[in-house]
Amino acid sequence: MRNPLRSEAEAFRFLIAVILGALVIIGAAYVSTWLGVAAAVLAVGGIAWWLKQEPVPGAADPPRRITSETPAGVHRVLVVANETVGGEALLATIERVARPGTELLVVAPAMPSQVRHWASDVDGARADAEHRLQASLTRLEATGLEVRGEIGDDDPLVAIEDALRTFGADEIVISTHPEGRSHWLEQDLIGRAQARFALPITHVVVDFAAEHSPVPRG
């Protein structure tokens, strides 16, 4: 989408578009008032359509895939989970992918509501994430893994990218709620992560309802 205030050149083009739109409206209004109204609707719609166009061909190309490296002999796993950070399925997956000596970084993105995000009122969400993360780290440390955790950006892709800048990983584990209850899956987080990061990605579904159910589902 064009942002008419992104640069002087964009603002100048927007000005030209507005001048053309104004000329069309004025010309139509001289013929008939209702023709002027129709021209105004068309002109505003046309400018809105123009603003939605990509300003630079190729600018919307997917960004370069991000890769990551670890020193020889070191195996590192990046785990991204929020509300599911303490799920049994996730812990089982971590135990499966981990080898002796594996270094583990668990990132729990803070998840404030959209309103709180815009108001930068994220302290509560970060505190909640911190609480869940600590509980999960305690359980993982008990397995003998070298593990640490941190709170990440509320955009999980940004959280992964942030983590990879300081923690080179060999693979990524992303944990979500089941389909239908997961905002991340609704936003196609797994697909976008696979497109963005050139690393093996394991998707774990944590279904708390099933885990806490007294009768196993079958």
Partner 1 sequence: MATHAEHLEHHGPPAPHYSSRITPGVLGMFLFIASEIMLFGSFFTAYFFVRVVNGTPWPTPPFHLPVYVAFINTCILVTSSFTVHWALQSIKRGNVWGLRAGLLLTFLMGLTFLITQAIEYSRIGFNTTDGAFATIFFCLTGLHGAHVFVGLSILLFMTIRAFRGHFSAEHHDGVEIGGIYWHFVDVMWIVVYMTVYIL
Give the one residue of 19, 41, 135, 209 binding partner 1; rule: CB under 8 A. Answer: 19
Segment contacting partner 1 by CB under 8 A, of 8-16, 138-146, 172-180, 206-214: 8-16
* Interior/surface letters 119-141, b for 16+ CB within 10 angstroms, e for the rest: eeebeebbebbeebbeebbeebe
Between 40 and 210, CB nearer to partner 1? 40
Q: Under the criterion CB under 8 A, does residue 162 sit at the interface with partner 1?
A: yes
Q: Under the criterion CB under 8 A, does residue 184 sit at the interface with partner 1?
A: no
Distances 86 to 14, 73, 115, 196, 216 between C-alpha atoms, Å: 51, 29, 27, 26, 19
Q: Under the criterion CB under 8 A, does residue 168 sit at the interface with partner 1?
A: yes
What is the C-alpha end-to-end distance of the chain, expressed in Å? Answer: 48
Tell me the backbone φ, ψ of residue 174, rounded to 5 degrees: -115, 125
Q: Which two tokens stand for residue 67?
A: 């890769």
Using CA atoms, how far apart are residues 158 and 113, in angstroms rounded to an integer? 17
Give the one residue of 2, 75, 117, 196 binding partner 1; rule: CB under 8 A. Answer: 117
Between 7 and 213, CB nearer to partner 1? 7
Residue corresponding to tokens 């000329």 = 23
Q: Under the criterion CB under 8 A, does residue 8 sit at the interface with partner 1?
A: yes
Residues in contact with partner 1 by the rule CB under 8 A: 3, 5, 7-9, 11-12, 14-15, 18-19, 22, 25-26, 29, 36, 64, 66-71, 74, 76, 117, 120, 122, 153-155, 158, 161-162, 164-169
